[in-house]
């Protein structure tokens, strides 16, 4: 081993790890962002006799690092510390008294439950359209996607319990957990699974309290093999619901049932959530979904257009992928708008058309509009009086226009759900959420709705500028 090399070598584990990180980042170039957050949860523990020990929060991290970076890291270590340098891991699961697990191979085999329970008749609330097959893999979602697959294969039997998937709205959390659920159901038809939005969870709980049926409620949930709760951030500031959730969580976890959660932020960042609950979220794996990188954006666009049977030139595809950098949902909207323009308005799928659609898109988010403006524009467009939009009328046309108005208000103003409810005739937050969900669901299938929303957005942002 060269003496000069050693004398210049960094001495502490931190310094060595820092150097490794720099080299990894350098090697990754542009794709570094998703990996950086990931690597932040890896801690250098010690450096002795040329062995660097890294602490990783779960076996998955260990496997991921082994697969993607170990060669690079070891090469770096050798350069810094000499040819005997090695890398070791400590798998550390933050918890009170949870066993240390070294790799997924050492976990107990899945228990076989005889098919006695009529699991197939249990309503799961899963949407069969969301699968792994149509969830495009990319650097931005690889960790979460792989973890979700693993959990579906061996629910309750891996260290990823709970599996906590987080990311901004529109990045694919809901899609991914449905995919997990659908796949798990296919592999383990005997297992009882239930998908919950936080809203439905809260409502069922409140209903159970009202009807004095808490024990039935608990019994039903305690019998689950897999529970998925989507958008858990909506449980913040609801102590009663959190309490019952805590109870259910513990029961299921102790019995090796699988818990899958999503939120718009990492567990530690959930404000208004009790500490004891947040700390339990750290027991398993928290996997992020990042905004899609360029390659993933391309892949998603190509896939979605292909599914619609649309042929598109590469330069148009590249133009869109370069210019829509936010959410997967926005990519989807572009696709729908393209389809609306080409099929309903019979325009040619040209680069010019793509540019027009992308141009509509970009400035929208940064401009401010008010709920009043939205109401006015929707009212004019559908020829329905503002008062009627705000009324309780259930007439189909009115309800349709109202859903759109609510959706736009939620998308482009900063009002909380409750505040929005007041603009719409004192509706409660769940009605507002329902409107938004209705639109989002239908935007994916109805070109007509997409066209209405898109027209309204155009009018809205023209008049407000």
Question: Total residues contacting Mg ion (rule CB under 5 A)?
Answer: 2
CB-nearer residue toward Mg ion: 65 or 328: 328
Binding string, residues 418-447; x marks residues near ligand ADP by CB under 6 A: --------------------------x---
Report the partner that residue 454 touches, choosing among ligand ADP, Mg ion, none (CB closer than 5 to 8 A by kind): none
Report the partner that residue 357 touches, choosing among ligand ADP, Mg ion, none (CB closer than 5 to 8 A by kind): none
Residue 265, phi then psi, degrees to nearest 5: -140, 170
Residue 272, phi then psi, degrees to nearest 5: 75, 20
Rounded least distance, CB 47 to ligand ADP, Å: 38
CB-nearer residue toward Mg ion: 208 or 433: 433
Interaction between residue 135 and ligand ADP (CB under 6 A): yes
Alpha-carbon span 401 to 60, nearest angstrom: 47
Interaction between residue 174 and Mg ion (CB under 5 A): yes
CA distances from 197 to 173, 232, 459 (A): 12, 8, 33
Rg of the chain over Cα atoms, rounded to whole angstroms, equals: 25
Question: Total residues contacting ligand ADP (rule CB under 6 A)?
Answer: 17
Report the partner that residue 170 touches, choosing among Mg ion, ligand ADP, none (CB closer than 5 to 8 A by kind): ligand ADP
| Chain residues 349-408 in contact with Mg ion, contact rule CB under 5 A | none
Closest CA to 281 of 249, 326, 240, 234: 249
Work out whether strand 285-288 and strand 163-166 pair parallel, antiparallel, or are unpaired. parallel
| Chain residues 139-158 in contact with ligand ADP, contact rule CB under 6 A | 141
Place of tokens 């809260």: 202
Alpha-carbon span 407 to 453, nearest angstrom: 9
Residue range at the interface with ligand ADP (CB under 6 A); choices 86-94, 163-171, 184-192, 386-394: 163-171
Rounded least distance, CB 301 to ligand ADP, Å: 10
**52, 87 Cβ separation under 8 angstroms:** yes
CB-nearer residue toward Mg ion: 229 or 354: 229
Interaction between residue 174 and ligand ADP (CB under 6 A): yes
Alpha-carbon span 214 to 207, nearest angstrom: 9
For Cα atoms 168, 195, 278, give the angle at the middle one, nearest 5 degrees.
Answer: 55
Alpha-carbon span 449 to 444, nearest angstrom: 9
Rounded least distance, CB 224 to ligand ADP, Å: 21
CB-nearer residue toward Mg ion: 258 or 262: 262
- As given in the structure block, the two tokens for residue 420 are 């929005």
Rounded least distance, CB 171 to ligand ADP, Å: 4
Residue 38: how many other CB atoms lie within 10 Å: 18
Q: Which residues sit at the interface with ligand ADP, rule CB under 6 A?
A: 134-136, 141, 167, 169-175, 300, 328-329, 332, 444
């Amino acid at each position: 081993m060269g003496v000069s090399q050693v004398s210049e070598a960094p001495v502490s584990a931190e310094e060595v790890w820092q150097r490794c990180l720099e080299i990894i980042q350098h090697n990754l170039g542009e794709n570094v962002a998703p990996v950086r957050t990931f690597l932040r949860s890896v801690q250098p523990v010690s450096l002795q006799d040329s062995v660097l020990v890294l602490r990783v929060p779960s076996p998955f991290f260990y496997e991921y690092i082994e697969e993607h970076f170990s060669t690079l890291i070891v090469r770096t270590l050798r350069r810094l510390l000499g040819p005997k340098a090695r890398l070791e891991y400590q798998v550390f699961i933050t918890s009170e008294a949870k066993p240390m697990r070294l790799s997924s191979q050492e976990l107990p085999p899945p228990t076989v439950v005889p098919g006695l329970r009529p699991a197939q008749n249990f309503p799961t609330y899963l949407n069969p359209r969301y699968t792994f097959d149509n969830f495009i893999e990319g650097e931005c979602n690889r960790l979460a996607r792989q973890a979700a697959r693993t959990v579906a294969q061996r629910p309750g039997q891996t260290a990823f319990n709970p599996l906590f998937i987080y990311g901004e709205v529109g990045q694919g959390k809901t899609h991914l957990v449905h995919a997990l659920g659908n796949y798990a159901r296919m592999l383990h038809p005997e297992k009882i699974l239930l998908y919950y939005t936080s809203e439905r969870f809260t409502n069922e709980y409140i209903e159970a309290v009202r009807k004095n049926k808490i024990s039935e409620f608990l019994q039903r949930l305690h019998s689950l093999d897999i529970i998925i709760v989507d958008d858990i951030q909506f449980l913040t500031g609801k102590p009663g619901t959190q309490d019952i959730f805590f109870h259910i969580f513990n029961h299921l976890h102790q019995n090796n049932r699988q818990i899958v959660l999503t939120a718009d932020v990492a567990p530690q960042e959930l404000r208004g959530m009790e500490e004891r609950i947040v700390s339990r979220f750290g027991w398993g794996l928290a996997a992020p979904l990042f905004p899609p990188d360029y390659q993933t954006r391309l892949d998603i666009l190509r896939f979605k257009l292909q599914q619609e049977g649309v042929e598109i030139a590469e330069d148009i595809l590249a133009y869109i992928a370069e210019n829509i950098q936010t959410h997967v949902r926005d990519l989807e909207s572009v696709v729908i708008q393209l389809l609306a323009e080409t099929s309903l308005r019979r325009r040619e799928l040209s680069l010019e058309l793509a540019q027009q659609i992308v141009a509509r898109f970009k400035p929208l988010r940064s401009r401010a509009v008010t709920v009043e403006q939205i109401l006015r524009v929707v009212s004019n467009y559908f020829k329905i009086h503002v008062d009627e939009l705000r009324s309780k009328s259930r007439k189909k046309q009115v309800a349709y226009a109202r859903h759109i108005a609510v959706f736009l208000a939620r998308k482009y103003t900063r009002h909380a759900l409750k505040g929005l409810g007041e603009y719409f005739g004192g509706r409660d937050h769940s009605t507002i959420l329902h409107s938004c969900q209705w639109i989002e669901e239908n935007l994916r299938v109805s070109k007509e709705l997409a066209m209405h929303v898109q027209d309204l957005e155009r009018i809205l942002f023209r008049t407000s500028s």
